Each structure stands twice: as C-alpha cells, then as structure tokens.
Amino acid sequence: MANSYSVVKFDSTHTFGESDGRYEDVTATNYITDLEDVIGWAEKQEWFQAPFVLVGHSLGGLSSACYAEKYPQRVKALAPISTVVSGSLYLTSYSDEERGAWQETGFYQKPSKSRPGLMKRVKWQFAEDVLKYDLLPDSRQLNMPVLMVVGSQDKTTFPEHQQILFDRIPSPKKELYIIKESPHTFSEPEHLAELRSIFHDWIKRI
C-alpha cells in the first residue's frame, strides 16, 4: 500500500509473466478481457473501493483506456502510459516490408529488449485483432483526470500518437509528459526515477 492505495498488479495471459498461455497467442482482446476479469475478482474483495484508478503500459494502456471509455463512472483517474492509441496507428511502427512478411509467414519475431534471451514471436492474428480497437472515437468519455507519459525515443507508440489522443481527451485535468531519451519500455534508472516522480506528484493531485 502506497499513498493510501491498495494496488493490484497482474500479468495478462500469453505474456512473459506467471500467467498461462504462449506469447505467440497474445492479442489486444485477451488483454482487455483479462483486465475486466481482474476487476470482477477485485470487486469481491473486502478491500475493494470504487471508483478506482487504472494504470497500464502499452497494450495495458489500451485495455485500461477502453475500460474507462466503457465505464467512465467507475474510474476515478486513468494513466495510459505509452499506450496503443489505435490498431492502425500501432501497425505503422512496423515497416511495409515487416508487415508484408508478417502476413505472408503468419509470424513476426524479434528479441525481447526487456527480457534478454527471450524471443518475441507473434502471430498475424495479433495484427488483425488490434485493428478492432481505437481509443479516439470514444475519447470524449474520458472526463476523469488523465496522466499520459511516453519516451521521446518510443518507436512503438510514438509521442506524436500520444499527442493525438491527448488533444482529443476532454478532461480539464489531463497531463502529458515526455521522458527524454527513453524508449518504449522504461528501464534505465534515470527514466524510472522520473516516471516515479511524475506518478508521485500526480497521485497527490487526484
């Protein structure tokens, strides 16, 4: 418990955490479904309080924002960090050649930067699935405090994509921070320290 909040952290199915599944089967849909399942579980716990704060990174940001757009009255504040804004924008992070080979072979793979030694291998099904999601049409529902953070060197969910969503959010209490020299995943000590400071100050304002 920090800042008087009870925190629930989970890893979605088909990721590199402790949950079941294979990474190659990951989809945006399973992230969104898992979040709703976890919230359903939390609602039955004696410590549960609503409305609550949702925080997520990348696909976690997309699933958190999708939930907040669907159930805005349940969400006290939202922090979609380096979020996938839409499937179509996300797929622009791959070159035409990469997307073509991905569709032709059925798989895209690259080494994991956050987990050295592991290979990320994803089915073309992921690309087809993520195209079903777009935060922009329903962004008008986001009237709660919103915190957005992205690295200036993010080549997956580009800062300019974050700006597009930020400009569409109607909340009078919205904030966008760009952490200099950070890539998509915050891992360097100085980047993590800045992110921690941003969150610490934001939590006290909401």
In 3D space, the residue among 25, 78, 80 whose CA is nearest the CA of residue 52 turns out to be: 78
The tokens describing 58, both together, are 């990348």
Contact predicate 150/85, CB 8 Å? no
The pLDDT of residue 15: 72
Specify burial of residue 110 (Cβ count, 10 A radius: 0-12, 13-18, 19+): exposed
User: Domains in the chain, start-ordered, CATH in brackets?
Assistant: 23-205 (3.40.50.1820)
Q: Whole-angstrom Cα distance, residue 63 to residue 31?
A: 6
Residue 109: its pLDDT value, please? 87
- Predicted confidence at residue 83, as pLDDT, reads 98
Name the phi and psi angles at 190, rounded to 5: -70, -35
Specify the DSSP element, H or E, that contains 41. helix 28-42
Q: How confident is the model at residue 85, as a pLDDT?
A: 98
- What pLDDT was estimated at residue 17? 66
Q: Give backbone dihedrals phi and psi of 40, rounded to 5 degrees, phi first.
A: -60, -40
What is the distance between the alpha carbons of residues 115 and 53, in angstroms, rounded to a whole number?
A: 28
pLDDT in tens, the chain (206 residues): 467 788 999 888 877 666 777 888 889 999 999 999 999 999 999 999 999 999 999 999 999 999 999 999 999 999 999 999 999 999 999 999 999 999 999 999 887 766 677 778 899 999 999 999 999 999 999 999 999 999 999 999 999 999 999 999 999 999 999 999 999 999 999 999 999 999 999 999 99
Pairing relation of β-strands 119-123 and 107-111?
antiparallel
